[in-house]
Amino acid sequence: MRKIIQMMLILALVGCNTVPKRQDDSTFQLNEDKKLLVSQYYIGVDDQVQVNVWKNPDLSISVPVRPDGIISVPLIGEVVAGGRTPVEVADEITKKLSQYIRDPQVSVILVELKSHEFLSRVRVTGAVRNPISINYRQGMQVIDLVLQAGGLNEFASGNRSKLFRKIDGKFETLNIDLFDILNDGDMKTNHNIQPGDIISVPERVF
């Protein structure tokens, strides 16, 4: 999962209140092969956060976000990071550091996204042999998840299955004809899986 996140999304999300004009300072340079600028990612518990303060290496740190959503920054103390974007955290650190140093230039980088791994997991519940919750992988389809779950059990009503997907805070429901997929090779409802998807397989009504 970590490899996929690094390649697809997110090895680093950067918030800079002011980007230095100097191009020879590697602190503020992104390796474009591995890092993607994503300004709207919300930091979560256990994410590894790197704070860089230009020309002030003693104030630059790399720390995990505590369970209370806090990180501790030298000189200014505790800063709320959980539930905020890197840009928002960088702005607060900049404001607080301004009381001690002149014109601080701060970047906040997410170098490890542990909270995202949980949020992006995909799940199969209901009438399957082994209900599962596993890490999302690029290219997954419905059939891949169901086979990972051991297939349908003897009580499953496969063609009444549903895929639940959260979009803009609301769940969208897609129909899945699992019996047709597994037994007839009919792939019309073999949907591509997205991070966070849930497949629910109901039991037959006797």
- Domain limits at 14? 2-117
Three-state SS string over the chain comes to: CHHHHHHHHHCCCEEECCCCCCCCCHHHCCCCCCCCCCCCCCCCCCCEEEEEECCCHHHCEEEECCCCCEEEECCCEEEECCCCCHHHHHHHHHHHHCCCCCCCCEEEEEEECHHHHHHCCEEEEECECCCEEECCCCCCEHHHHHHHCCCECCCECHHHEEEEEEECCEEEEEEECHHHHHHHCCCCCCCECCCCCEEEECECCC
Same domain, 56 and 156: no
Tell whether 43 is covered by a domain: yes
Q: Confirm whether pTM is higher than 0.85.
A: no
- Residue-by-residue pLDDT tens, the chain, 206 positions: 444 334 333 334 445 543 333 333 322 333 333 333 444 578 888 899 999 999 999 999 999 999 899 999 999 999 999 989 999 999 999 999 999 999 999 999 988 888 777 778 899 999 999 999 998 888 999 999 999 999 999 999 999 999 999 887 788 999 999 999 999 999 999 999 998 899 999 999 87
Residue 206 falls within a domain, yes or no? no
Asked if 150 and 112 sit in the same domain, the reply is no
Residue 25 belongs to a domain: yes
State whether 49 and 13 are in the same domain. Answer: yes
